Chain A
Amino acid sequence: MRFSRNWIAAYTDLPEGTALHEAMSMLGLVVDDARPHGDDVTLDLDFPSNRPDAMNHLGIAREMALSANQPLRTPTVEFPVDPAVASAELTRVELRDPACVRFLGRVAIDVSVGPSPQWLCDRLEAIGLRPINNVVDITNFVMWEMGRPMHAYDMDKLRGDGLIVRRATSGEKLVTLDDIERELSAEDLVIADHERVVGLAGVMGGNDAGVTETTRRVLLECAFFDAVTIRRMAKRHAMHTDASHRFERGLSAEGIDAAVERACGLLHELASATISVDSLDMTGALPEPRQIALRSNQIRALLGVDVEPTEVSRILSGLGFQLEATAEGFTATVPAPRVDVDREVDLIEEIARFYGYGNLPGTLPLVRSRTGGGLQPVLLDEMQLRTTAASMGFWEAMTFVFTSQTEQAPFAGESSAYVELANPLSEAFAVMHRNLTPGLLAAAGRNRSVGQQAIRLFEIGRTFVPQTGTAVGERRRMGLLATGEIAAPHWSADSRAASFSDVKGAVETLWKRMSWPELQWAAAPVEGIQTGTGAEISCEGSVVGFAGKIDPAVAATASVESDVWVAELDIEDFAGRERPALELAPLPRYPASERDVSLLVKNGTLYAGVTVALGAATDVPLADYRLLGLYEGDDLPDGTSVWTLRLTYRSSERTLTAEDIEVAHDSVVERLVKELDAERR
């Protein structure tokens, strides 16, 4: 919102240069930008939305003057009135809707419409307004000086006897001052003559009854409309004007008289108008003035500092509050334009503002909490997952939660429903994601496009699933992606491309790190995953995720040509779980012995068979086993391969003899051969 430095300075002395910005920001008015404009400076202020009363040059000057303890020079308004000209005899105003709380009309005749004097043009141009003619410019000037939107009608263009404030009838039309024809609805509050609408109340006037060079008689309007009514109208018509900006933030019935007086004075001075002796004052139900008890001890309790009653009185009186001393402090009567002041704390904020935030002490409180400190378990778990994934070579990504159905569908399935945004930024951001994988794939694609070959990414985030009605389910999920080389070519080792085992290993390491229940991996068709590479991951009997190689056709849509291995898990039911108590095992007292066995197995045999065979071998002292090698060579019979397993034998009761071990090993191998339908080599 733009203001003129010189204009504010007309009412009070201001600090020079950037000291002004500093002083303004210490009152809560942030100077976003300051640009020279002739010998003036245009200040772009970030105005808090709760201070419509101060969105004007005099309002700012009032605060600056009080803050600096300087006098405020309010403009003097003096003009002659013609007792023979009475507004009430020349026209009428009728309020037909309570959304207009007060309407003040006043007539000026013999108006000489012409260009405004230079000083007035300078003022308006400094804040980016285009001078139009002296009458229109005066209404704009008064709004920016005193904060009250105002409109001037050419009385000779009004049809019938005066103005009516009413709701529009649906379908009525109005060409507003910006030359746009607007179709009105029954909810629009309008100013009308007896034949047609001439203005959109509190938003913009119409072309039909506007002031032009030929205008001789003017009806000034300054009103107080209900904030919500104006806000809805401005939204409905997608109009945002200086007037609507103020009305929707809340004005008051007070302050109208002074603004109209000021405008009349200027009409007399600059347009040699003759001003009517009276006003047409149409007033609905006005709110009672608010009175608030202010307790001195509460000032200290809230601010942590004592403020002298004389200082309290200086500040609040300077802002227009009427004070009455009480045993506990004061009773303050709130000036009507201060729509933001409602409670004792609001008064205390005003005291703090002018006492100076910078003058308040800083103290460290004793922190007490019934709920304890530290991360809640679910956040602690998320952090541990992140650090573990990072320590395994994955980089943390953050992807947008909104995406397109096209991007999600390959993984969510064609028939999945999505949480839809009612007002998305674009089609590409129209729905909430159900899976993290598409976002990670897109990130891999962007990395590929800038020449990155080895890509490992992970993300922990919420996904969103529609539930009954409009309800939305939020699920915490973790996704991992690996493509390209796991280890870059290096003198110390051969390079190696990412594989299923990399993502499976990462997932299992994460699970182990968290002491979550064991995962089961089963070959299964998975949406978006190349047939024959997909796994369904289960835990405690429920499917919790998937892994596999992204279907090359899907990967190609993200411009990734290499194999992309992913895993994605729903961690909602695990993160934050109480960890099982650690059961400490005694260290083995007797030595272990290892034996290897090679088995010729038919292709298509699942390694899960080893787990089945050995899981049941509780009668032998088998301590551990692992797959040492997988061999598929031309020297083997067609359709077979050789698995080499290393088995570790140990007893907790004694040192095993060579014979013990042979007996156990033979038994184990026999079970493997049977379960896997294999041949011992």
Chain B
Amino acid sequence: MKWIKHIKAIRESVMGMNQRNLELIYPNNARSNYKFADDKYLAKSIMEEKGIACPRTFAVVGKIGEIEAAWQAVKEWNKLVIKPAKGAGGNGIMILKKENDQWMKGGKVIDEFHIFSHIANIIFGIFSFGDSDVTLIEEYVQPHPFFHEMYPEGVPDFRIILLKGIPLMGMLRMPTAKSNGKANLHQGGLGIGVDMETGLLKQAYDGKRHFDFHPDSHSQILNKQIPYWEELMALAIQTSTHFPLDYLGVDLVIDKHKGPMIMEVNVRPGLGIQLANKQGLKGVIENLKLN
């Protein structure tokens, strides 16, 4: 029976939520250390301290009264990213670009009042489940032309999952017309599998189907060589050694000028990466144990 075989194959190679929690997250990550990943401010402090390449932080705003002063310090830059330290899933991230001395958000003019109230909302905890939060104001990463050849919008990033410093699986996340500039799989972004040996892109997955090309731009994806692949892997491994988390997802970007950088780390990397790679995490870990 074909479907019984199929179910068996899924059971043998796919990592499910239960097994991930019990065998990867709980034994490898102490709950008291989650904060080093969940709080982007803390994570960046570690990365900056250890000299790991990451986007520059222009300002950290923890109190409403500090907004005005922080703004004065950063407003000379032409591009800014404002994000909550404890946000999840890309919520609360505001990207600002200056055009003709006016701040633009997503192609529309935005005045300082609305920027300030966004920062205030972050501090009030709107994007962090009601906990009070701090706002990070960061350098805007200019995606490497490699990405814009495939799709010209948004900031694609790599997710590499590591176990005790060993990279298990990787994925390139790329925005689509549906995903509004966001690259998360569950927000309509595209997950593209990565051959960990060679750094060649595999097929893409949009949550429903697999493609060999970008569904919007139709440009080829399969078998494209990722630039800086060796550096990306090295950076991910370096990062994992500096965090007290033995199972983690590292998110990386490639800046046009500065090359690979770490965006953030994640204690509970999603399992959708298996769909992008058409490969089960359970099988990968078992192969590792054998070798």
B partners with A: no
Interface residues of B (CB under 8 A from A): none
Residue ranges of A at the interface with B (Cβ–Cβ < 8 Å): none
